[in-house]
Amino acid sequence: MKKLLNVKGLAVLLPGLLVSAATVAADAKDIEVNELATELAHPWGMAFLPDGNLLITERTGSLRQYSFEDGLSEPVANVPAVEAVNQGGMLDVQVDPDFAQNQTIYFCYSRKGENGSSSSVAKATLKNNALKNVSTIFVAEPLVDNGFHFGCRLAFDKDNNLFVTLGDRYKYMDEAQNTDNHFGKIVRIRPDGSVPEDNPFIDGDAPEIYSYGHRNVQGLTMHPETKEVWAMEHGPKGGDEVNKLRKGANYGWPVITYGIDYDGSTISEKTKQEGMEQPVIYWDPSIAPSGMAFYDKSVFADWKGDLLVGALKFTHLRRIEMDGDKPGEQHEYLRDRGERIRDVEVGPDGLIYVLTDAPKGKLLQLSPAN
């Protein structure tokens, strides 16, 4: 059992804040939208296979394949049972960098246990629309009895280590500052679940931790040029953040925040503190960001190097112009469709793919308008 740290949250007034970069409404004519699939049950995450097809998770507990020739598959067989309660369920999926040789995939989901539920990562081989050799390689501890803030985004770094985001499980937000458990952390493990020897808290009770002080990270990606891992997290009411990850770094939650609680009460008067990281971007009001990817292809020629972010609350895809690590103007797309954007990926074909979060969610393909 990982240790819990009992600390009272800070409560002070936070003044209103503005988004850290200008937002510009985008002309809907800039892009064309092709609905590839329309019957997905709350799709949550996706990953491209080497053949160009997609793996897609459904939060209700399924994993599906999408073929550009045959469309959406039947649910993949032998998927473990998930605890699909509130925000929990089958969440993200990632393909092994050596999938062509080992046919291995990884998925993060909420799994029920003796004392509640927890974010868990499993690996398996994918053959003939079925999973084989399913094994659990990581379980966040401790388990608690609520269905909120699981995190569960997955990404590989340049050394093929697997990064896993873990939420603070909502009412346990103070635990994000305690490096003896997994609440509000991002962990780094090897593909077999073992711990890299240079992890920053290797001697603690949660040696998998790479960074801490997070709230609920719903975006994770590796920068295609610098190879740095970037993360994006939900703030409370205000204070959504995009961060560059540093080993052992403290991202401040809930000691510093650009948001307030949902009932209007204060969480902290501080937005900065020595020894705690500042975000590259923050949003107030919150956009409820989910899914992120850097655009590194040439089909959208003017977008190269820009950051793409899905927005649940304001139902749009957001493009953030980037000059290296510096954000510039922000552009909104798809907002007139009124659909919650849960994930975004850049395809090997240079087109952009997004998932919409709904009981009959969609897989959308975006291309430049003619």
Q: How wide is the angle at C-alpha 343 spanned by C-alphas 144 and 113, nearest 5°? A: 20
Q: Is 234 a catalytic residue?
A: no
d(C-alpha 135, C-alpha 169), whole Å: 24
DSSP-derived 3-state class of residue 33: strand
d(C-alpha 176, C-alpha 170), whole Å: 10
Neighbours of 103 (CB within 10 A): 17
Catalytic residue among 149, 182, 214, 234: 149
User: Can you tell me which residue has the tokens 């959208």?
Assistant: 300
Q: What CA–CA distances, in Å, run from 144 to 4, 109, 139, 173? A: 12, 15, 12, 13
End-to-end CA distance of the chain: 57
Helix, strand, coil content of the chain in percent (nearest 5) = 5, 45, 50
88 closest CA partner among 111, 70, 65, 105: 111
- Element of type H or E holding 321: strand 316-323
What residues act catalytically?
149
